Amino acid sequence: MTTMTDTSNAARFREFKMPDVGEGLTEAEILKWYVQPGDTVTDGQVVCEVETAKAAVELPIPFDGVVHELRFPEGTTVDVGQVIIAVDVAPGSGDAVADEPAAAPAPEAAPAEAAPAEEPKGRQPVLVGYGVAESSTKRRARKGAETAPPAAAPAAVQAELNGQGTAAVPEARPLAKPPVRKLAKDLGIDLATVTPTGAGGVITREDVHAAATPSEPVAPSAPSVEPVVPAAEPIPAGARETRIPVKGVRKAIAQAMVGSAFTAPHVTEFVTVDVTRTMKLVAELKEDKDMAGVRVNPLLVIAKALLVAIRRNPGVNAVWDEANQEIVQKHYVNLGIAAATPRGLIVPNIKDAQDQTLPQLAASLGELVATARDGRTSPAAMAGGTVTITNVGVFGVDTGTPILNPGESAILAVGAIKLQPWVHKGKVKPRQVTTLALSFDHRLIDGELGSKFLADIAAILEQPKRLITWA
């Protein structure tokens, strides 16, 4: 029979489950807890950071209360849907036992009264973004102590977020996007010391760089859990091998590459091309006032050449639907750029790249690379790609045989651009030369289509004026 105590317990303790922070992800690893049992949390406060197969994400709690139990320690991989934290949403209502697995017994000095928590607002957690405020961390008062009046900190923090408060609440969490927070951690900058210039008081990447410029020391940031490769740990003397757990991004890469290699019949074609005129164009664009403030490099022109080649060969921008036995033709281009990061290989993409001007494409590439380097690329940024470029030339190699990104049918590898002897206008001259490699899915891209597509990219890079004549 259900008792009144059982009912009150169910209403008093709320559980927060591991959400699906990406598109169809099934698990995530808890990197760091920002709260402990006994801490007071508020709706929207970030309680932990998790790493999925695609990105590191901060999770905010969607209700107020006092942390009752953390179900998993840091470093644990948890399935989506499992409870990761239990919160007492009515801490002042007396002793109760949560309907959950038994935890380690609490000290006998135990439950005490705290300020009544607000009723749950029912707001769904924002998994990626900014704007939540982290309240001051406080423990429950001892039993017998007078009930303290409601703390003013959360109200003051909210007032400051609304632009009406003062700087009197040092616990207010500065407004900044996850990539900016990561950059601040890497540079040792305390965001509380940074003057924001973004809309609504948001701290931008430029604000962090500006704060790092002065020579005077800044307050050190809190220790962070950096998702680095475990092999970086010291190797014990005499050890002949090291075993590294396969998880996170590395696990996702392995599954994706095996699935792609043994599902899509790959064909790889190569072409060596004189890109001297492209390099001259890059140098001219760097001096162009319309390109001021964005990074101009050969990858920019190569990306634009690929987009023009897709317009001339739209059949490349498609995917094989095995379940429905259909070829799905994409009328948009989400251009993926393979990026090597401390967490492993990721492929974020530029949405609707076909509609972007050259300055816009340069800005998108710069933001994509910076976000990937900071380790804060969101799962959404890596979803829905249609074609990919991998620039292996940055490592000094001539080319490779790239494996298709799952869900795509073509990937272009760009080799190193080197000064080589080349026959130009009937004479052997030193010219800037590179080798391109195109891998494609032979189920839907025949040799003729793949060859024409690769030849068009090479022709544009040899004569960049074709960006105009063919567009």
The Cα–Cα gap between 16 and 19 comes to 9
The Cα–Cα gap between 315 and 302 comes to 19
Tell me, letter by letter, the H, E, C secondary structure of the chain: CCCHHHHHHHHHEEEEECCCCCCCCCEEEEEEECCCCCCEECCCCEEEEEECCCCEEEEECCCCEEEEEECCCCCCEEECCCEEEEEECCCCCCCCCCCCCCCCCCCCCCCCCCCCCCCCCCCCCCCCCCCCCCCCCCCCCCCCCCCCCCCCHHHHHHHHHCCCCCCCCCCCCCCECHHHHHHHHHHCCCHHHCCCCCHHHCECHHHHHHHHCCCCCCCCCCCCCCCCCHHHCCCCCCCCCCCCCCCHHHHHHHHHHHHHHCCCCEEEEEEEEECHHHHHHHHHHHCCHHHCCCCCCHHHHHHHHHHHHHHHCHHHCEEEECCCCEEEECCCCCEEECEEECCEEECCEECCHHHCCHHHHHHHHHHHHHHHHCCCCCHHHHCCCCEEEECHHHHCCCCCCCCCCCCCCEEEEECCCEEEEEEECCEEEEEEEEEEEEEEECCCCCHHHHHHHHHHHHHHHHCCCHHHHCC
Count Cα neighbours of 345 within 13 Å in the Cβ-side half-sphere.
18
**C-alpha to C-alpha distances, 222 to 82, 184, 186, nearest whole angstrom:** 28, 11, 11
- Give the number of other Cβ atoms within 10 Å of residue 144's Cβ: 7
Of 422, 424, 433, 439, nearest to 298 by C-alpha is 433
Task: Indicate which residue of 68, 209, 266, 442 is catalytic.
Answer: 442
Query: Does residue 358 contact residue 291 with C-beta atoms inside 8 Å?
Result: yes
* Known active-site residue 442: yes
Query: Tokens standing for 235?
Result: 């190797």
The Cα–Cα gap between 296 and 259 comes to 35
Catalytic residues: 442
